[in-house]
């Protein structure tokens, strides 16, 4: 599990840099300001969670259900949140918005919130 978290953190970080550069250069002329802003939000959240996964991967043993669940929530939540934003923006720029992806973004966001909630619980349970 440790290796999975570290690898996913590195993959998400790598892709965030690539997608960020792609958005800033190649897509700048094709996207509206709103699409570009949404795309950048996806990249930011992806990078934030890539860093978080790396920090967790080097500091936790993933021997408890809380630790493992937290990792899966961050990995899956990041994928659903950021990648659905990318797909929505790219499809809208081509004039064929994939509306079925719209509900996926908040589901990804909810998983991220749950992951952060578990992280908070993980820290607080040691004080109670």
H or E segment to which residue 19 belongs:
helix 2-25
What number is the average pLDDT over the span 32-43?
A: 96
How far is 36 from 60, CA to CA, in rounded Å? Answer: 36
Output the pTM of the full model: 0.95
pLDDT of 81 reads 98
Give CA–CA dist 2/110, Å, rounded.
23
Q: Which CATH number fits domain 2-124: 1.20.120, 2.60.40, 1.10.357, 3.30.1380?
A: 1.20.120
Assess contact for 46 and 82: CB atoms under 8 A: yes
pLDDT confidence of 126, banded at 50, 70, 90?
Answer: confident
pLDDT tens-place string over residues 66-101: 999 999 999 999 999 999 999 999 999 998 988 899
* C-alpha span between 9 and 15 (Å, rounded): 10
Find out whether 10 and 54 touch, Cβ atoms under 8 Å. Answer: yes
Assess contact for 38 and 78: CB atoms under 8 A. Answer: no
Cα(24)–Cα(17) distance, integer angstroms: 10
- pLDDT reported for residue 89: 95
Quote the pLDDT of residue 17: 98
Domain residue extents for the chain: 2-124
Task: For residues 71 and 9, give the distance between their C-alpha atoms in angstroms, rounded to a whole number.
Answer: 10
């Amino acid at each position: 599990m440790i290796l999975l978290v570290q690898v996913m953190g590195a993959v998400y970080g790598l892709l965030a840099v690539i997608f960020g550069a792609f958005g800033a250069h190649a897509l700048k002329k094709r996207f509206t300001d709103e699409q570009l802003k949404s795309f950048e939000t996806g990249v930011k959240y992806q990078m934030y969670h890539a860093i978080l996964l790396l920090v967790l991967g080097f500091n936790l043993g993933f021997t408890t259900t809380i630790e493992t669940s937290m990792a899966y929530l961050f990995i899956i939540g990041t994928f659903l949140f950021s990648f659905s934003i990318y797909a929505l923006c790219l499809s809208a720029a081509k004039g064929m918005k994939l509306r079925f992806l719209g509900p996926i973004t908040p589901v990804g966001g909810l998983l991220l919130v749950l992951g952060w909630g578990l992280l908070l619980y993980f820290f607080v349970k040691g004080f109670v």
